[in-house]
Amino acid sequence: MDHHLSLVLSNPHSPLVSYAMLPGDHWDMEDAEVEKDNPAIFLCEIAGNRSILRPAYQIKDLDGKDLHFAVYTTGRGITRVSQSLDDYHPADQSWVNLPVGTTICIENIHQHYFMDGQQGIRLDSDNDTLNSAKILKCTMQQFLELNETLRKNGSTCSSASCTSEEKLEKLLRCAVCKTPYCSKSCQSSHWKLEHKKQCRIIAYLRYLNRQYGR
Ligand SMILES: [Zn+2]
Ligand SMILES: [Zn+2]
């Protein structure tokens, strides 16, 4: 099953899953206990905006399946995330008008059948789910590519234009995502080039690895 994606430490049971792998709609506490041993993080990408009164989107999952995603939280689609869970995401997330190509990761979610017969994901004011729901400003493809980059990440400077090839004993690291650099100048040129857009995504991948990596 190639849809199980390896995380940084090549976990053979990566928790990133498609819709088909999620628990069903009738999810009771007994199932919830099972999920703790076998966590599932739903990964999808925004494919179209269907918002009318509340945020709603067409999404595609890892299998390329078209699904419906609706946000039924209080606060008109702005959710407050507890900061204690991690240190890399802003306390507030807006689910309003997310652009096509935005990636979403949600832990503790299950399949949902909407009243009109559509299948998909319903995000509501359940704190465990809300706290784990992440909006990532990249496509799923970019997310998976960054994951691969992280897997190769060694003990050399991360700036592509860096001329220092030696393995460094004392690396500077990005305070948020721990990406290594040989110097402040490499860090700042890499920040301007691409790291600004990638930093929080890498930090999230590191969080996934800490939580679920083996
Ligand atoms: Zn360097
Ligand atoms: Zn960083």
In the reported structure, the alpha carbon of residue 159 is separated from the centroid of ligand 1 by a whole-number distance in angstroms of 5
Task: Classify residue 2: in a domain, yes or no.
Answer: no
Pair (29, 65) in one structural domain: yes
User: 4 in a domain, yes or no?
Assistant: no
Q: How far is the CA of 164 from the centre of ligand 1 (A)?
A: 6
Give the pLDDT of residue 27: 52
Question: 66 and 138 share a domain?
Answer: yes
Amino acid identity at 66: D
Give kind and range of the element (H or E) at residue 154.
none
Asked if 203 and 195 touch (Cβ cutoff 8 Å), the reply is no
- Is the separation of the CB atoms in 201 and 138 below 8 Å? yes
pLDDT at 100 over 90: yes
The reported pLDDT for the residue numbered 158 is 87
Which one of 26-40, 166-180, 197-211 scores highest in mean pLDDT? 197-211
Residue 117: pLDDT band (50, 70, 90) is very high
Burial label, 19 (beta-carbon count in 10 A; 0-12, 13-18, 19+): buried
**Range picked from 99-103, 127-131, 175-179, 197-201 for highest mean pLDDT:** 99-103
- Please report which ligand is nearest the Cα atom of 181: 1
Regarding whether 83 and 39 lie in a shared domain, the answer is: yes
**Which of 124, 142, 160 is a domain's end point?**
142
Q: Closest ligand to 191 CA?
A: 2
The pLDDT, as a whole number, for residue 36 is 52
What separation in Å is there between the alpha carbon of 184 and the centre of ligand 1? 8
Domain of residue 128, residue span:
16-142
How far, CA to CA in Å, does 128 sit from each of 30, 85, 125, 206?
A: 17, 10, 9, 20
In a domain, 7, yes or no: no
Per the CB < 8 A criterion, the answer to whether 23 and 35 are in contact is: yes
Same domain, 27 and 75: yes
Mean pLDDT of 130-145: 88
Q: How many domains does the chain have?
A: 2
| Ligand number, closest to the Cα atom of 179 | 2
The closest of 10, 41, 56 to 148, measured between CA atoms, is: 10
Predicted pLDDT of residue 67? 98
State the Rg of the chain over Cα.
18
> To the nearest whole percent, how much of the chain has pLDDT over 70?
74
More confident residue, 81 or 139: 139
Statement to judge: residues 50 and 77 lie in one domain: yes
Q: What is the distance between the alpha carbons of residues 185 and 48, in angstroms, rounded to a whole number?
A: 40
Does residue 2 have a pLDDT over 50? no
Q: Are residues 41 and 68 in the same domain?
A: yes
Q: Where are the alpha helices (DSSP H) in the chain?
A: 29-37, 127-132, 140-152, 184-190, 196-212
Span 139-143, mean pLDDT? Answer: 92
pLDDT number for residue 29 = 46
**Does the residue 204 lie in any domain?**
yes
3 inside domain? no
Residue 107 has pLDDT above 50, yes or no: yes
Residue 11 lies in a domain: no
Q: Which of 112, 142, 172 is the last residue of a domain?
A: 142
Mean pLDDT of the chain: 80
- Reduced to 3 states, what is the DSSP secondary structure of residue 175? coil
CATH number at 125 reads: 2.40.50.140
